[in-house]
Chain A
Amino acid sequence: LAKTTQPISMDSYEGQEVNITCSHNNIATNDYITWYQQFPSQGPRFIIQGYKTKVTNEVASLFIPADRKSSTLSLPRVSLSDTAVYYCLVGRDQGGKLIFGQGTELSVKP
């Protein structure tokens, strides 16, 4: 399973675009890249998933370069309610083997 590395914490202000980068140098051919969001004392929530290039949904965009060794989660115009921990995962749920690292703690300030 590919290990991921992402910043421990990030600060931003309301209305700004936030980009969180995750590196996964050992990603396998069949692996997908998935991002989750977790608020304090709640279960994580699936945000977005992609394999290559760009994926966009109503919440975020995911940018994946051609070599797939990194990915960037982009949150447009963040608000205070986007303050949470964001986890980058790489894999294909091989029997439940999703590895949640420490994640990136995003703090959005007014």
Chain B
Amino acid sequence: AQSVTQLGSHVSVSEGALVLLRCNYSSSVPPYLFWYVQYPNQGLQLLLKYTSAATLVKGINGFEAEFKKSETSFHLTKPSAHMSDAAEYFCAVSGGTGGFKTIFGAGTRLFVKA
């Protein structure tokens, strides 16, 4: 079955530092990949998506992610963290060998220190 693994359930960075959230997927066929963000007591919002066009994808709020087929990875980065980035981030996959269903990773909670 198709799956998504997010390395690190919690990541803490200082304001202004680089944010790196890791995501690896398992699929023999390149799937569609997504990053979602969830703020407290809210639903999920789409940050960015990879749909087989450019491998470097830019999203909202200064985030970007790079699809690396050889590493089956789709890591999320932001050059400079802001306090407002504190939230939970979910990597997700659809398509590939899993059909249209969207499968989520366990999530990574990002803490930003002043």
**B is a partner of A:** no
